[in-house]
Amino acid sequence: MTLSKTQIKSITSLRLKKYRNLENKFLVEGEKVVSEGLKSDYDYESILVTQEYLDKNPDFLKVNKKIEIVNNKDFQKITDTVNPQGIASVFNKQTQKKDWVNNLSTELVVCLENVSDPGNVGTIIRNCDWFGIKDIILSNTCADIYNPKTIRSSVGSLFHINIFFSSNLIDDLNILKNKKYKILSATLGGKSVYNYKTNEKTIIILGNEANGISKNILSFSDDFITIPKIGKAESLNVANASAVILAELTK
């Protein structure tokens, strides 16, 4: 089936957060990420492919449904990448349960406060997936996880992780604190993560790229860790820092 101009325009609009929220849908690009999405429990509305992609993957039609064929010019309009692979898909957002704060599945949880760069958020999601973290909490000031750059940076890990959105981070952390979770903030002045040991249920807080964790969260925290600096760099990218911290906390 071939898409109409109206459908092309509607799909293209999903590159913008306003329309993703309005339609409650998001666009995924690339063979790897689409494949991970199709294997997940996310519902999808359609798979968009070029004829060139189908010619190279003739069995694709046999194992997938809701396929729409898009010409190369329209596919370039839809996608956000310079060199698209000829496949994309429209997925439906999942509805978050109101009592999510009572349903965390692991004892080590990552929480992002005001991490504003989509690439950093996506990379942290990927890092969490690598280290077996199943639950991530995002403050309402974080980059949109359905941003195309976030999705690309996660390389499909978005579909493997439980991601919860907090409308009031202090209130939600307080509930979790009452459930015996320890609030651990990553700062420049904390204890060395290389020597840090904990057997408690823990929520590790990672903060904004430029300003770190807010004073409200810091005053609410139970403990602090840092990655000791050896060289002269002013700071460490939050996504890179997350990999070091999770490697230590999960070993």
The domains found in the chain, sorted by start residue, are 5-92 (3.30.1330.30), 100-250 (3.40.1280.10)
Q: Quickly state the pLDDT bin for 42 (edges 50, 70, 90).
A: very high
Residue type, 81: T
What pLDDT score does 28 carry? 95
> Mean pLDDT, to the nearest integer, of 209-229?
94
Element of type H or E holding 224: strand 223-226
The single-letter DSSP state of residue 30 is S
Look at the block and give the residue holding tokens 């903030």: 185
The three-state (H, E, C) secondary structure of 49-115, written as one string? ECHHHHHHCCCHHHHCCCEEECCHHHHHHHCCCCCCCCEEEEEECCCCCCCHHHCCCCCEEEEECCC
For all residues of the chain together, what is the average pLDDT? 92
Q: Quickly state the pLDDT bin for 235 (edges 50, 70, 90).
A: confident
For residue range 135-162, what is the model confidence (pLDDT) as tens digits? 999 999 999 999 999 999 999 999 999 9
pTM of the model: 0.93
> Mean pLDDT, to the nearest integer, of 56-67?
82
Task: Please state, for a pLDDT cut of 90, what percent of the chain lies above it.
Answer: 75
